[in-house]
Structure 1
């Protein structure tokens, strides 16, 4: 029985590795909690070892190792004291957060008090919009309140994103695709390009037996492809150090995250959580990290954690501190 289960899991894993990120219908399958890619083979391995089924044990161990990069486990957190990714001097403190429709239907005073309490040098905020059933979104204009709440911050607004910065903008904000925003900031260490990212969600909750479900999912897969392509193209042409952060709607188990350039560094190495997760913030058990931060071009992350959103969103807040190399960044 253990051998049969191990063979079944190995067959699933072969399909997952072959189709994930390459065939749009597999997006539904890849929504599984990433930790399942470690939990299932570990259970099979334990059962095989207990029963002396050495062939099944070898197969389960192989499945565990092959899928390890996609299980969402941050093994570096097992170090006694996670270190900054590189030595240097401390840079800006940033927060990145999907606000879930910008306080739609909530108390604006509580919402803005929470934002001010984060006390960041740079705020990278997604979903500057209102959303409705059926996927309809409405643009909003809350700039007057933003100006009053953050008088010492410069503003970059566009593509339903807001970047607030204590550092001046080096130029006008640049829309990236249809859902992300680039803002170049003049920090003490030099120009830093921040990418405020929001990749479209994979599917709409509806009856999966209806043809409309698959039409909608295929359309969304195309939109995701376009957003990733635009983001990667802009990054490759950007000469500045970069910080890429936001809601990718992509877990470690979804192949789309592999599209990010290999020159970028995942900030999770500076996090102390063994199983970091950012969604669903309102649930007791959180199994998905779909909010990511990457750095490149000389910028590094010194500290990184997920912070409670106090019920204001279904996403936790990403909180991080940049570290500039000793020579600064150009």
Structure 2
């Protein structure tokens, strides 16, 4: 009787020529899968970045994407570059694509990359004005919505913090409390008593205090509804100051926030509110741009813009210079400040400062405001060097 012997006889299961071929095929399929995944991730990120460039500030539904931490524009392509070796045959074009997205993402994320975003150099010449810009976190309500367990802090601690800054000009926002809606504060006399040497200008939720002579204010007329002062009130309060023989226009800005985290995202109210907020943002930014475009004075624009993309993807105005604080290395972030009830890490820069004309900043710093607000404050010295034409306008 003839016995037939298998070609794999004497080999462990899966070994031998047939097993080696199956393992090779499985390895080849896995390598192709990894290559496709890396390729898809690289192109997917490039398409996402393109959409972000095109849609930020232009489509209300993208508002739900815009709040992503800006550092992701650097971290994601950098992480994907580590996977490029798995792309094998297409590794080179994938690497070039990711390097391109990284090169775009670095300045957008806010890392100092150009002269306009370098830390301020010492200003020379002209008259200097110390400016303090701060979202107060619902005045002295301890940053909490009163509906959600917040309470009223001691006003003494709040005003003591402001006095410590010894600024010539204070640009303050969120002059209100919140309980089921905005609550207007009738405390002009209290503010004036706290700052007797300052001119106090209250407009809606914005307060500008100045011990520099005020040449003009530009209040906006609002409707007669009881809450129009907040929902339709000015979000970029302009005050013209007499500085160094010319007029410096200072804008105190608080652009509406894009979404309300207290609302349930599974309800229609969440999205209808976001759509209305987008329209409010566009209206207020357009009003600010129009005023800036029609203003020939040197400018300083500062405040809470509720966007990490100001000056890069969302334009504030023509010929404005964006400043980075000099006491921060790497990515400046201002929100949320520590010990204010937020469970999120401090990952966003929502507070910005811009200038136009012969205005230089020195000693521009971000300041902590422990527990008083969920935003860091902006502290700076602005130096204005007047040109002859500006002096003639100021004199007239």
Same-fold status (TM-score > 0.5): yes
- Counterparts of 2:364 and 2:62, CA distance in 1: 31
Gaps of 5+ in 1: none
Task: Give the direction of change, closer, same or farther, for the CA distance of 1:117–1:309 in structure 2 (3 Å limit).
Answer: same
Alignment CA distance shift 1:49-1:166 (3 Å) = farther
Deviations 1:76-113 (A, max 9, x none): 69x9x945286434610110000011102111011000
Q: Could you tell me how far 1:191 is from its partner in structure 2?
A: 1.4
Q: Which has the higher strand share?
A: 1
- Counterpart of 1:291 in structure 2 is 351
Distance (Å, rounded) in 1 between the aligned partners of 2:311 and 2:258 = 13
What is the alpha-carbon distance in structure 2 between the residues aligned to residue 159 and residue 237 of structure 1? 23
- Could you say which residue in structure 2 is the equivalent of 1:162? 207
Cα distance, 1:21–1:256 mapped onto 2, change above 3 Å:
farther
- Give the match for residue 376 of structure 2: 316
Alignment match of 1:46 (pick from 55, 61, 82): 82
Moved more, 272-281 or 22-31: 272-281
**Which secondary structure state, in structure 2, belongs to the residue aligned with residue 258 of structure 1?**
coil
Three-state SS of the structure 1 residue aligned to 2:60 is coil
2:172 to 116, 125, 131: 125
* 1:259 shift after superposition: 2.5
Structure 2 unaligned regions, length at least 5: 1-36, 142-151, 222-232, 392-396
Secondary structure at the counterpart of residue 174 of structure 1: coil
How far off its partner does 1:172 sit? 3.5
2:156 match: 109
Deviation at 1:201? 0.5
Q: How many pairs does the alignment contain? A: 325
Q: Is contact 2:301-2:355 (8 Å) kept?
A: yes
Q: What TM-score does the superposition give when structure 1 sets the normalisation length?
A: 0.90
Larger radius of gyration: 2
3-state secondary structure, aligned to 1:67 = helix
Once residues 248 and 311 of structure 2 are traced to their aligned partners in structure 1, the CA distance between those partners, rounded to angstroms, is: 28
Question: CA–CA distance in 1 between the matches of 2:351 and 2:236?
Answer: 14
Instruction: Give me the CA root mean square deviation.
Output: 2.6
Work out whether 1:16 is the aligned partner of 2:52: yes
Query: What is the CA–CA distance in structure 1 between the aligned matches of 2:127 and 2:176, rounded to whole Å?
Result: 33
Distance in 2 of aligned mates of 1:90 and 1:167: 11
Corresponding residue for residue 273 of structure 2: 216
Higher relative contact order (CA 8 A, sep 6+): 1
**1:284-312 residue CA offsets vs partner (Å, 9 max, x unmatched):** 84111101111112212123111001110
Match of 1:305 among 365, 385, 392: 365
1:58 aligns with 2:96: yes
* Alignment TM-score, normalising by the size of structure 2: 0.76
